[in-house]
Structure 1
Amino acid sequence: MEEVLLKKLEREFGTAFTTDDKIVTEYSKSPYLVSPILSKMGKRALGVLYLEDEEEIKNALNICDYYRIPVVARGAGTSTIGQVLPIKESIIFDIKMKEKMEFEDNWIKLSSSVRVKNALEYLRKRGKELRVYPSSFYISIMGGYIAGGDVGIGSFQYGYHFDGNGIKSIKIVGPFQEYTLEGKDTLAVAQAAGTTGIITEAEVATIDYEDWKDQLIAVNELDEVVKILKNLSQIRDKVRRITIEDSNAFSLVGKNRVDKIGRWNVMVASTLSLGEEVNLKFLDELAFAAIYVTMSKLTNFKEYFYEVRLLPLSSFSKVVSEVKNALKDKVLIHGDVMTLRGETVIYTVFMSEKQNFDLIDSIMVKEGIPFEIHSIEVNDRVDEEFRLELMKKYKNIVDPHNILNPGKLRC
């Protein structure tokens, strides 16, 4: 069936379909995937299909569904969680649709291939910006962010990008059908890693653009960091972004950019005067998942490894203190502060030699923070049962033969 499908795609799409060894090898990997666990899970793709519009996507998807051959939709390929990594022998759809943007009131309607950077430039000319957007905004596209991401710049103000009506509507394509989901139903697609349909268009929330000033608050004790975060949570609407880094991590990313570095460094983007105003724009590109991709290139660790925990304020100081006391400069700590269901939570990244993570995990478990193995499955990342059930429901409706990114959603 695979051979028959490949010949069919060659006839239908001509040079837009390739089985070239070098290209297939490249597309069988996830270029921004740094997890050594997930990296080993990939399979070799069967071929790569370049698609430029919705009709081509529909036609290609219908053919693959007929032959029951898996499909992985890929745009910019910037996912760090394995979203574009084929774990079954699949056809890779390299989707490069024409960029379309249309702004109205507090919403922007855009095609899925729009680069986040271009959307921000378009909106800022109109005095607006995306409510929440990824730190990889300079390379990522909107479709991939909606399908795989959940947090980003603006998460301290608004939480997940899809929370609180963050998405008005999403248009998706499945085998032999297309769907436009609105309101709560959009949560069946957001963060579903392309398992519930290929996104072709979406309407997402915007906010007024403000002159956010980057400021540094350097302190010596972790308890002082917690106190600062508690105070900032009282003025959430005035604070766009908060990033925390220990001196070792900050000295790597802030080298030759910042003069003063504390044992702990709280970077705040706010309209208020809260600390020393400095140029921290480079941090936009280092938040959340971007930080451990960057650190994998900057550190001297022989076997670089990382783990991420969502730590509430009540646990953050205690867990991080124990880890730092045990490993000192052998562990780097980075935190992005976000709001989940009204609670301040720190997206905390621990980076060290792989051999040190038995110790780090033992501290986590002792403090009641469960061990989280790197998982390629959506089920292990979605933290609300009703959203997971919605994804399963639409998976069965949109993709009854399970060809869309199979193995990424347990139904």
Structure 2
Amino acid sequence: MDGALHSALSRVCKVETHPAVLWIYRYDFLTIPKQLSRFVKTPICVVQPRNDEEVIEILEIAERFEVPIVPRGSGTSGYGGCVPLENSIVLDMKLMANFSFQNDSVIADSGAVWQELERAAKRHGRSLRVYPSSATVSTVGGWIAQNGYGIGSLKYGSVMENVEWLEVADFRGIKRVDGERLKYYVGAYGTTGIILRACIKLRDDSPIRSEALECSFEEAINKIEGAYHANFKDKRHLALEKFGEKDTLLVCYEGEDNGSEFGKRFWERRLYPLRALTTER
């Protein structure tokens, strides 16, 4: 790493250059296919800004030294959006994790974890309209940068349809974007600007009725109209989880506090795939 670049960044925040750490930041949640792995680069360094001012300073330094920036949340996507393809600075946003509630929305920093937002919202009698199945560890900025679909999207749409505005940073400073301009940042994987925080819509914390229905995939398509969430798992998948032996559809509706016992258990396991990485201790 260039000594002048390291010195400039070190005046702003901690700079990580240990080879073992940099190797981890070459990847996201899944292994890069062998055919594409030759394009992946080890980052020059990893930095973790703590506030907006540090993000701007890092961007100014990167521009001065002509080094690319790769923003990163928790790396739980399997699509390579945070994988460096150039010798670059990885901008790890996880230390920027504050959030606050305002009327029917939550204003959350990029590094805030979705599950922590949901828990706090429930204490206010509210709930997230949508959140990812990786909510135990994934960050607000990461999922918005991907424009993900997840739990609740069957009713409320993609995460972009549930964002009121974003604050983003680029080489010209910080700006707020909303309305039609969101499409230039949501789903852009940080290529058009660094997501600093988002204003995210909430719903009433109404109960969820969950039913588990044994049916084929073709039959499941006709059973999800009006649902809040649905998840189809074939018998092989359920057998691996030791949770069933037949093709099963989980279908959930808002506002009704009943349902089958199997459906409730199925719903409670909606975040099961990433349970090992949960923020709970």
- Answer yes or no: is the 8 Å Cα contact 1:5–1:67 preserved in 2: no
The answer to whether structure 1 residue 6 and structure 2 residue 5 are counterparts is: yes
The answer to whether structure 1 residue 249 and structure 2 residue 233 are counterparts is: no
Which residue identity is paired with 1:197?
G
TM alignment of 1:15-94, pairs within 5 A: 16-30=14-28, 32-36=29-33, 37-94=35-92
The answer to whether structure 1 residue 170 and structure 2 residue 166 are counterparts is: yes
The answer to whether structure 1 residue 265 and structure 2 residue 248 are counterparts is: yes
Bigger mean CA deviation after superposition, 267-276 or 109-118: 267-276
Deviation at 1:203, TM superposition (A): 0.4
Deviation at 1:246, TM superposition (A): 1.3
Which residue in 1 is equivalent to 2:271?
285
Which residue identity is paired with 2:228?
R
TM-score (norm 2): 0.87
Between the aligned partners of 1:174 and 1:119, the Cα distance in structure 2 is 26
Q: Which has the higher helix share?
A: 1
Which residue in 2 is equivalent to 1:214?
210
Between the aligned partners of 1:39 and 1:105, the Cα distance in structure 2 is 46
Aligned-residue RMSD, C-alpha? 2.5
Bigger mean CA deviation after superposition, 277-286 or 104-113: 277-286
Deviation at 1:29, TM superposition (A): 2.4
- Answer yes or no: is the 8 Å Cα contact 2:232–2:248 preserved in 1: yes
Query: What is the SS of the residue equivalent to 1:153?
Result: coil
Between the aligned partners of 2:179 and 2:190, the Cα distance in structure 1 is 18
With over 3 angstroms needed to count, the CA separation of the structure-2 counterparts of 1:83 and 1:277, relative to structure 1, is closer
With over 3 angstroms needed to count, the CA separation of the structure-2 counterparts of 1:40 and 1:241, relative to structure 1, is farther
Deviation at 1:41, TM superposition (A): 3.2
Which residue in 1 is equivalent to 2:116?
118
- Answer yes or no: is the 8 Å Cα contact 1:172–1:178 preserved in 2: yes
Which residue identity is paired with 1:207?
R
Which residue identity is paired with 2:187?
Q
Which residue identity is paired with 1:229?
I
Which residue identity is paired with 1:217?
L
Query: What is the SS of the residue equivalent to 1:41?
Result: coil
- Answer yes or no: is the 8 Å Cα contact 1:42–1:86 preserved in 2: yes
* % same residue: 23
**Relative contact order, higher structure (CA 8 A, sep 6+):** 1
Deviation at 1:23, TM superposition (A): 1.9
**Tell me, which stretches of 5 or more residues in structure 2 are unaligned?**
none
With over 3 angstroms needed to count, the CA separation of the structure-2 counterparts of 1:286 and 1:229, relative to structure 1, is farther
Which residue in 2 is equivalent to 1:135?
133
TM-score (norm 1): 0.61
Alignment length, in residue pairs?
Answer: 272
Which residue identity is paired with 1:226?
E
- Answer yes or no: is the 8 Å Cα contact 1:218–1:261 preserved in 2: no
**Tell me, which stretches of 5 or more residues in structure 1 are unaligned?**
295-411
